[in-house]
Amino acid sequence: MKVGAWYLGDDRCEFTVWCPRSKTVTLELSDRSVEMQRQDDGYWSTIVSGIKPGAEYRYRLQSGTFPDPASQFQPSGVHGASAVVDHRFEWQDSQWQGIKLEDFVIYELHVGAFTPEGTFEAIIPRLQTLKELGVSAIEIMPISQFPGDRNWGYDGTYPYAIQNSYGDANSLKKLVNACHQHGISVVLDVVYNHFGPEGAYINQFGDYFTETYKTPWGSAINFDNAYSHCVRSYFLENALYWLREFHIDALRLDAVQAIYDMGARHFLAELADRVEELSQQQNRKLYLIAESDLNDVKLIRSKSANGYGLDAQWSDDFHHALHALLTGTDIGYYQDFGTCEDLAKAYRNTFVYDWKYAPHRFRFHGAPALDCPMTQFVVCIQNHDQIGNQMHGERLSQLISFEGLKLAAGAVLLSPYIPLLFMGEEYGEEVPFTYFVSHSDPELIQAVRRGRKAEFAAFHLEGEPPDPEAPETFQVCKLQWERHQQGKHKVLWTFYQRLLKLRRSHPALVKRDRASVSACAEEDKKLVWLERQDVICVFNFNQSDQVFEFPVGQWRTVLNSADQEWMGAGSLAPEKGQEGESGTVRSQSFVVYERY
């Protein structure tokens, strides 16, 4: 059932809301009240004339008057009235067929911090630069209406409503339209595991929550208890809404380990079926990408293999293994990583923890992933969480050397997996990305502050994190975009561009099946070897130069991060080599050879 206010044209609008326990539901408009008619399964609906786009409304129940839980726009924020949206738009992407998942190079961005204006339309002038870099998909952090005008987006309380400080429905459509004209896919981050703590009036309407399970954010969404079929429909229709009405190409599903469903047909499997149906209708493949902490490929296995049928999932093990090597940190979950063999295993097997004992979890964790294609996994060295998990939101550029940044780039972009970059990473952005909010409830603000301190205390970090409520905490997170054309930042940007071109053009790097990938480690030297058919990559995580031996064959240099062209100290590795000969790779650098 499609819920919300759907403008029919000619000043007519259909309103539908799910409220199974109410005896009456009244649509409150600015100039009148309209009694709604009860339908099957506790839905209420009415078609009203004399309604123009932008008309504001609420629903009156026995318990009070509230905004629409399926509101498509909240012009006055989470506590204000809902507004009718006219979805008519002149699209110019009728020939767009999307980018194949295996060709995704994802660029994660936060709308508010990506540009000075902090809007959808302000992103458009930067698309050409991203295209020239080699980006093929942007991933937009959650845009559902949240309290105030500063938030990561995971505190949204209106899953259908576009954050009013970013723009409106037309603004988002203009951005998607422009992306497609540039040959860039759009991934939208959606949150189906909780509602934010302020403005969540949805609990007034129906049994959207269950006390059977608990999430880190409170009560779980009701996907398997009484009335869950209508709750599931609410979220299924939401996914289709973004894909259908806004031409979004893929959805990133936030923290699916907190989507609890013990029913015979898991919500995620039903979601995959519904999205596949829409893909067939539109003759264009649409994708679902899960963020998951489970290391469980059941998410992406096919239905015939008793999986849920999602298209891809994140692999945090890759990030943790690489980050621990680069920084030497061993706090929190990083204590489970830190060896070169961890990274080599992440290259070979995807998951480091594949039903292996994880010390920080005090239990066995994960499952093997060898039966799934490598192009079903997303990896990174920076993302919003991993930067935000630093007390002061330090990016990698503040934690390691310039040589280390190049090493990190090579380790990610030369992998067979789908790479994700976090905005500004490509030029070594130095401004932080800390956690920020703009709540209006003083008690909630204090609770958020206490919560942040407790999180860092759990990591045994001392000090005072930035105040998440302070406007300046958000302001300092805005990118200094002009840096990508300056000094060392321009060098790093060009280095990323070179790596991405190599990734998509070299035959050995284009081939990404498991049979063509092998990796091993020399722990005493802190070297990691990655072999991609006729290409070998030697990564040196040591603080000193290291000698390596050429494997069987004749080899010539493709790329060396220590070259002076990349502001390195100069290569010590030979341009060519063969079995029985040796070379030297600079500290904190890597060299790529191809067979000839």
Q: What is the pLDDT of residues 437-454, one digit of tens each?
A: 999 989 999 988 888 888
Cα–Cα distance between 163 and 111 in angstroms, integer? 10
Q: Which two tokens stand for residue 340?
A: 């070169």
Q: Which of these is catalytic: 254, 354, 426, 563?
A: 254
53 to each of 49, 74, 75, how far by Cα in Å?
12, 13, 12
- The per-residue pLDDT for range 271-315, each reduced to its tens digit, is 999 999 999 999 999 999 999 999 999 999 999 999 999 999 999
Q: Which residue has the tokens 């045994």?
A: 460
Q: Which residue has the tokens 């318990």?
A: 63
Q: Which of these is catalytic: 68, 155, 261, 291?
A: 291
- The per-residue pLDDT for range 6-56, each reduced to its tens digit, is 999 999 999 999 999 999 999 999 999 999 999 999 999 999 999 999 999
Residue 463 has pLDDT above 90, yes or no: no
- The per-residue pLDDT for range 345-389, each reduced to its tens digit, is 999 999 999 999 999 999 999 999 999 999 999 999 999 999 998
β-partners of residue 210 are 220
CA–CA–CA angle 18, 24, 26 (5° rounding): 80
CA–CA–CA angle 284, 290, 293 (5° rounding): 170
- Residues 473, 475, 479, 483: what is their CA dihedral angle, to the nearest 10 degrees? -100
Residue 461 has pLDDT above 80, yes or no: no
Burial of 50 (0-12, 13-18, 19+ CB in 10 A): exposed
- The per-residue pLDDT for range 137-175, each reduced to its tens digit, is 999 999 999 999 999 999 999 999 999 999 999 999 999
Cα–Cα distance between 123 and 116 in angstroms, integer? 10
Least Cα distance to 344 among 509, 521, 513 occurs for 521
Backbone phi, psi, residue 239, to 5°? -60, -45
The pLDDT of 572-589, averaged and rounded, is: 97
The pLDDT of 484-495, averaged and rounded, is: 98
Per-residue pLDDT, 541: 98
Cα–Cα distance between 548 and 527 in angstroms, integer? 9
- The per-residue pLDDT for range 249-278, each reduced to its tens digit, is 999 999 999 999 999 999 999 999 999 999
Residue 144, H or E segment: strand 144-145
Question: Residue 133 in contact with residue 500, Cβ under 8 Å?
Answer: yes
Question: Residue 416 in contact with residue 377, Cβ under 8 Å?
Answer: no
What is the bridge-based pairing of β-strands 287-290 and 250-253?
Answer: parallel
Per-residue pLDDT, 457: 72
DSSP for residue 444: H
Q: Which residue has the tokens 């996994």?
A: 377
To the query of whether residue 291 is one of the catalytic residues in this protein, the response is yes
What is the bridge-based pairing of β-strands 26-29 and 56-61?
Answer: antiparallel
Question: Residue 465 in contact with residue 453, Cβ under 8 Å?
Answer: yes
Residue 459 has pLDDT above 80, yes or no: no
Cα–Cα distance between 295 and 291 in angstroms, integer? 10
Per-residue pLDDT, 460: 61
In whole angstroms, what separates CA 415 from the centre of its chain? 19
- b/e per residue 181-193 (b: at least 16 CB within 10 A): ebebbbbbbbbbb
Per-residue pLDDT, 456: 78
Question: Residue 421 in contact with residue 135, Cβ under 8 Å?
Answer: yes
Whole-number average pLDDT of the chain: 97
DSSP for residue 226: T
Backbone phi, psi, residue 221, to 5°? -70, 140
**Residue-range domains of the chain with CATH:** 4-83 (2.60.40.10), 104-314 (3.20.20.80), 517-595 (2.60.40.1180)
Angle, helices 402-413/487-505, rounded to nearest 10 degrees: 20
Least Cα distance to 65 among 161, 204, 167 occurs for 204
- In the structure, what pLDDT confidence band is assigned to residue 458 with cuts at 50, 70 and 90? low
Q: Which two tokens stand for residue 461?
A: 């970090």
Report the percentage of the chain scoring pLDDT > 70: 99
Q: Which residue has the tokens 């000839």?
A: 596
Sheet holding 589-595, edge to edge: 517-522, 527-532, 535-540, 589-595, 554-560, 576-578
Residue 421 has pLDDT above 80, yes or no: yes
Residue 430 has pLDDT above 80, yes or no: yes
CB atoms within 10 A of CB 523: 11
- The per-residue pLDDT for range 202-241, each reduced to its tens digit, is 999 999 999 999 999 989 999 999 999 999 999 999 999 9
Question: Residue 547 in contact with residue 554, Cβ under 8 Å?
Answer: no
Report the percentage of the chain scoring pLDDT > 90: 96
To the query of whether residue 254 is one of the catalytic residues in this protein, the response is yes
